[in-house]
Chains A and B, each alone.
Chain A
Amino acid sequence: MQYTARTKVMWAIGILVVVLYALIPVAWITSLSLKTPEEVADKKFFSGFSFDNYDVIFSDDTFQKALINSIGIASIATIISIVLAAMAAYALARLDFAGKALILSGALAVAMFPAISIVGSLFDMWRAIGLYDTWLGLIIPYMTFTLPLAIYTLSAFFREIPWELEQAAAVDGATPFQAFRKVIVPLAAPGVFTAAILVFIFAWNDFIFANTLTSTDNARTVPAALAFFTGASQFTQPIGAVAAAAVVVTVPIIIMVLIFQRRIVAGLTAGAVKG
């Protein structure tokens, strides 16, 4: 089909609007992070180009520890939930058994669970058994949203796998478990990887648990640390430093999202629509 120049210009404008929509707040926080305190008040985009704010946050113990906590907690939560969910998703996508629908709707119900409904009890229990303000104390509640997400995306991916290969393995005398481990796992790896990225993004994003179940550098993650970040004086939020920290936690996510965009879109929509 031939497109007129006018149609093309219209589309270009449409695309530009969507791109600007997505990028303006990101550009704004990046711009703020590069400003000196004097430039902050000028209300302009990219008026300064100083890395002072980055020096400030990287020499700040609180931020460094929060970054380590975020990376560690999100990674462990991701690994645990992917392992548990991969086993379940294999069964859900592949095996025939009663209770399949129950597990899927149960996972969906858990995904819709309001976090605020359990922070009070977790706060009380964690203080009683010593899990308050620890990594494990966050990893456990993260399962409430990482597990359902992982189960849904993984079972959607697993349904697309060419299962004839598994049957071939069975014909060759492999047990169902061998077929799972030797044939399916390598085939499923790309889907598993995508699900892991999605789960990591969700765990990385959590604020409500990190905010309520931690109190010190011991386990406080970056989103919670950002909310309690205070500058030299107790009452002013150091805009430049907060912006720099915000950029630091955003960049890795943006890189991951851009590299794996096609798979992430497939994972997100497959999980939601087929579910």
Chain B
Amino acid sequence: MEAATAQAPATTAPPKKRTSERTREERKLAWMLCAPAVIAMILVTGYPIAYALYLSFQRYDLRFPDAKEFVGLSNYGDVLTSSTWWSAVSTTLIITIVSVALELVLGMIIALVMHRAIFGRGVVRATVLIPYGIVTVVSAFAWKYAFDPTSGFIFGLPLISDTWQPLNTKAGSLLVIILAEVWKTTPFMGLLLLAGLSLVPDELLEAAKVDGASAWQRFWRITVPLMKPAILVALLFRTLDAFRIFDNIFIIQPGGALGTESVSILGYNVLITRVNLGLGSAVSILIFICVILIAAFFVKVLGTSTAQQRGEAA
């Protein structure tokens, strides 16, 4: 917006050259076209996060709204010294690491199946999009009911004992939550990896084959290194997504019961269930910082790996 208004006086100046006036007009149009979207994004994220930051320095419990006062960093102190926060962090990390690792392996298999398929590529592509398109709450219910002790088909399967009740234990619940998460998001991983696979030149793989490299060697020595940026982008998207996990836990183990509370569920419990906006906002800001750290880590790794690739290509 500011840039657009700053341009206005410049255009009234007498045109020196046709080209520079054209450039200036193009720049002005560009900013006018971008301004609404940019302003909207700043307003809908920047303002609420700034307000959350402000709230995080307040004692602000909606049950006692009159007791609102500035308390500095004490909310952060309360959160960072509570075992609930650290248990939520470790639960979130377990879910994130396990599910992203499984998704990477399964996604790579799906990508290879789609890439090398001699027939049925369209069928595979269409069906893998179904988990992706499905509402997360719906898939969470599907998995929850699959493991429901009274009605789940899992217990109708041979070899599975009725006495095994995963939803009654923390480990079992995490298993079901991770399963629901992996099922839904692996297709996305597969599609991103497929796009990366198509960048690997066939001639290179053929040449390696002629030189006697096994399929396994070709995959690890050629395909994976060339796909590294695509893999890192996929990992970045999925890690951040998994770290924010909310829907699956909310449905499968309401309230994050049995120690399945993730950081987002903890934020919800403090903000919405306990209506403690001050303390909850401190949780919100800490989650925000975690997300920035994860993103920064991946962007740094990604930067070095693409720089390396460019170096090789040049």
Q: In the complex, what residues of B have CB within 8 A of residue A249's CB? A: 135, 138
Q: In the complex, what residues of B have CB within 8 A of residue A239's CB? A: 145, 148, 151
> Residue of A at shortest CB range from B276?
A120
A272 touches B192 (CB 8 A): yes
> Residue of B at shortest CB range from A90?
B33
Number of interface residues of B (CB under 8 A): 92
> Residue of A at shortest CB range from B198?
A269
B41 touches A98 (CB 8 A): no
Which of A31, A90, A273 has the largest count of B CB atoms less than 10 A from its CB? Answer: A273
Q: Which stretch from B8-16, B43-51, B164-172, B217-225 is at the chain A interface?
A: B43-51
Q: How far is the CA of A125 from the CA of B52 in the complex (A)?
A: 10
Q: How far is the CA of A246 from the CA of B135 in the complex (A)?
A: 8
Q: Which stretch from B77-85, B93-101, B183-191, B205-213 is at the chain A interface?
A: B183-191
Say if the beta carbon of B150 comes within 8 Å of chain A.
yes
B151 to chain A, nearest CB (A): 5
B130 touches A176 (CB 8 A): no
B281 touches A121 (CB 8 A): yes
Mostly, the A contact residues are helix
A106 to chain B, nearest CB (A): 7
Say if the beta carbon of A182 comes within 8 Å of chain B.
no
B146 touches A254 (CB 8 A): no
A141 touches B44 (CB 8 A): yes
Q: Which listed residue (B119, B123, B128, B233) contacts A273, Cβ 8 A?
A: B233
> Residue of A at shortest CB range from B126?
A261
Q: How far is the CA of A237 from the CA of B110 in the complex (A)?
A: 35
B192 touches A32 (CB 8 A): no
> Residue of A at shortest CB range from B282?
A120
Q: Which listed residue (A45, A123, A151, A207) contacts B246, Cβ 8 A?
A: A207
Q: A118-B52, A119-B268 are in contact. Are A95 and B143 (CB under 8 A)?
A: no
Q: In the complex, what residues of A have CB within 8 A of residue B257's CB? A: none
Q: In the complex, what residues of A have CB within 8 A of residue B51's CB? A: 121, 124-125
Q: How far is the CA of A110 from the CA of B240 in the complex (A)?
A: 12
Say if the beta carbon of A43 comes within 8 Å of chain B.
yes
Q: In the complex, what residues of A have CB within 8 A of residue B194's CB? A: 269
Q: In the complex, what residues of A have CB within 8 A of residue B191's CB? A: 265, 268-269
Which of A14, A249, A256 has the largest count of B CB atoms less than 10 A from its CB? Answer: A14
Q: In the complex, what residues of B have CB within 8 A of residue A183's CB? A: none
> A243-264 interface mask toward B, CB cutoff 8 Å, 1 = contact, 0 = none?
1001001100110111001101
Number of interface residues of A (CB under 8 A): 96
Q: Which of A195-223 contact B (CB under 8 A)?
A: 201, 204-205, 207-208, 211-212, 222-223
A112 to chain B, nearest CB (A): 5
Q: A19-B127, A272-B233 are in contact. Are A87 and B145 (CB under 8 A)?
A: no
Q: A18-B110, A40-B151, A95-B26 are in contact. Are A243 and B127 (CB under 8 A)?
A: no
Q: Which listed residue (A31, A92, A116, A246) contacts B138, Cβ 8 A?
A: A246
Q: How far is the CA of A87 from the CA of B30 in the complex (A)?
A: 9
> B24-40 interface mask toward A, CB cutoff 8 Å, 1 = contact, 0 = none?
01110111011011101
| Interface of A toward B, CB cutoff 8 Å | 3, 7-8, 11-12, 14-15, 18-19, 21-23, 25-26, 28-29, 31-32, 40-45, 84-85, 87-88, 90-92, 95-100, 103, 106-107, 109-110, 112-125, 140-141, 143-144, 147-148, 151, 176-177, 201, 204-205, 207-208, 211-212, 222-223, 226-227, 239, 242-243, 246, 249-250, 253-254, 256-258, 261-262, 264-265, 268-270, 272-273
What 8 A-B pairs have minimum CB-CB distances, sorted nearest first?
A: A43-B156, A118-B48, A269-B195, A97-B30, A121-B51, A88-B37, A25-B142, A91-B30
| Interface of B toward A, CB cutoff 8 Å | 3, 23, 25-27, 29-31, 33-34, 36-38, 40-41, 44-45, 48-49, 51-52, 55, 110, 113, 117-120, 122-139, 141-143, 145-146, 148, 150-153, 155-156, 183, 187-188, 191-192, 194-196, 230, 233-234, 237, 240, 243-244, 246-247, 250-251, 263-264, 267-268, 271-272, 277, 280-281, 284-285, 287-288, 291, 295
